[in-house]
Amino acid sequence: MNRKKYLPAEWEKQSFLQLTFPHANSDWKEMLDEVSACFVEIIQSASEFQDVLVVCDDIQRVSSFFKSRKNIFFVQEESNDTWARDHGGITVIENGIPVVYDYVFNGWGKKFEAGLDNKITKKLFEKGVFKNCRIKSFDFVLEGGSIESDGKGTILTSSKCLLSKNRNEPLSKTEIELVLKENFGANQILWLNHGFLTGDDTDSHIDTLARFCNEKTIVYTGCNSPEDEHFEELQKMKKELGKFKNYKGDQYKLVELPLPDACFDKDGNRLPATYANFTIVNNAVLVPVYGVSQDLNALTILQSCFPDRKIIAVNCRVLIEQHGSLHCVTMQYPEAVKLNKEILS
């Protein structure tokens, strides 16, 4: 791999985790109390292991939710919504120096208004929130949830997302692959052509389907019930994963996660519940659970994938009401990027 430029793996040492807190002018208006409690649980759980940066509309309002503010820092900034994975900066190491890449976020192909979210990373830099790094902006649509890195020059992604409408057309798959390789110093791009979750707005983000646990292991969302609408696509995805080779040229160890029992909104629409949407922090993994029968099995499986990390279950049933989950609301920054704590609340 090109060690002069690379995208760190999520399991590498982190400096802090970024979230954007829900507010009444977001889609969470009708369930603000419930989703706020979920965010508080995520933030407090992560703050036991590292710093957490909370972007919010009102520091006084949001900070009042926390009994302890140890390792938690607040910055006030406008936002449309809460999906920090997709509007947050993506940190690349260039010649040993961290550079935060600021891509265009256009609401998953112009499905939703995202003008404020798209400006957050730039505004945080203008306020001096980050230290020891610089920012680089791109006229290219890319969401953090659409890519996985093994830190060794391999990027895992899905063609349904990166080739979807209103993102980067008329660029071809070959042209997009060249952009990814150039931007991330990657040697290979692994494209999944199959796999989806009903209710997903992202056009099959990879972080809902398949994740690197280390350089040699991929954990993925499975489905073994022929009656389930996901069965055929997820079985095809499994076969695709079986053909992929890691950076050493070996097949990956594949670990299957169960598909949670179907969860529905008040109108009877199925929601995109997945255990693959976990978040790795220093010495721990935060895992979404949904109050269904597969929760315990999923936690056990992920503990086997991360034997040296504490597995922490977070009830994310409310998050899937807006079609995302735990990983979708977080963005990690590697150890080299520092928070300017002197200016933060």
CATH of the domain at 217: 3.75.10.10
Q: Is the pLDDT of residue 2 over 70?
A: no
* pTM for the whole structure: 0.97
Q: Is the pLDDT of residue 1 over 50?
A: no
| Residue 342 per-residue DSSP state | G
Q: Which residues contact 142 (CB under 8 A, 6 or more apart)?
A: 90, 103, 104, 162
Domain range for 38 is 5-343
Residue 122: per-residue pLDDT: 98
Residue 267: per-residue pLDDT: 96
- Count of domains forming the chain: 1
Whole-number Å distance between alpha carbons of 313 and 148: 22
pLDDT tens-place string over residues 81-127: 999 999 999 999 999 999 999 999 999 999 999 999 999 999 999 99
Compute CA distances 51 → 30, 71, 178, whole Å: 30, 5, 34
Residue 345: per-residue pLDDT: 84
* Count of residues in the chain: 345
